[in-house]
A and B are shown apart, each in its own frame.
Chain A
Amino acid sequence: MTGNHKVAYTTLMDSVFKALADPTRRLILDVLSEEDNQTLFELRTRLIMEHHVDMSRQAITKHLAILERVGLVTTARSGRYKQLHFNRQPLSEIAQWLEKYRSS
């Protein structure tokens, strides 16, 4: 591994950990894992009605932007609406790192 690789690896992992270091963003991922391709409306309705989390649209959008930046959420345009997808891939690197110490 070259020095550059190590920096890139650390930076990505850092930002994924940072994105996850917030209970609201973890809740958003939990809600998105229940049903794929939700609209912002559906996500917000589920947060309010099922989790009693009443956030403004702007607040949710801000959290989603952070999750999108690290690749945990991707958006697809289906016709004229945006659909949200929970991409688990960035978690695998973290999981591998955690796995090393899980049973020690």
Chain B
Amino acid sequence: MKIAIDSVFVPDQEAALKFYTEVLGFKKKHDFPVGTYKWLTVVSPEQPDGPELLLEPDEHPAAKAFKKALMQDGIPFRAFGVDDVQKEYERLTSLGVKFTMKPRKMGPATIAVFDDTCGNLIQIAQKDERRS
């Protein structure tokens, strides 16, 4: 068994696709209609056959309440790996992305947290120590 799909809850799939591709730099992988909504996934260009991120409608009231509560306390819903958190922080900030936590070394990793404009906070992390 392996992890194939992860997801973020979004209020508007098209707007989410725009942010996750044009700003974050992911690539669209699957896009087909499922009822009112779409099965819409993106992948990292660094891992085109790797895990997909599903941009999943947050239409369920519980999803909205859950997102709101996490966001209020600044808790990231998902984490992505990057090679250099500081560089990514500067790149995304220049594109207008808002960070709720600036890059900071926390134990074995450097992390930062940004707002994905779809109601979620996302953590980016870089491993500073490699296990041999």
Contacts and interface: CB of A to CB of B under 8 A. Distances in A.
A80 B106 contact: no
Given A80-B72, A82-B72, A41 B113 contact: yes
Contact of B74 (A35, A40, A49, A50): A40
Interface in A45-104: 45-46, 49-50, 57, 79-83
Interface residues of B, number: 19
A14 to B, nearest CB: 30
A41 B72 contact: no
Q: How large is the interface on A (under 10, 10 to 19, 20 to 34, 35 or more residues)?
A: 10 to 19
Contacts of B72: 80-82
Given A49-B107, A80-B68, A42 B74 contact: yes
Nearest to B70: A41
A45 B18 CA distance: 31
Interface of B: 68, 71-76, 98, 100-102, 104, 106-107, 111, 113, 115, 119, 121
Interface of A: 35, 38-42, 45-46, 49-50, 57, 79-83
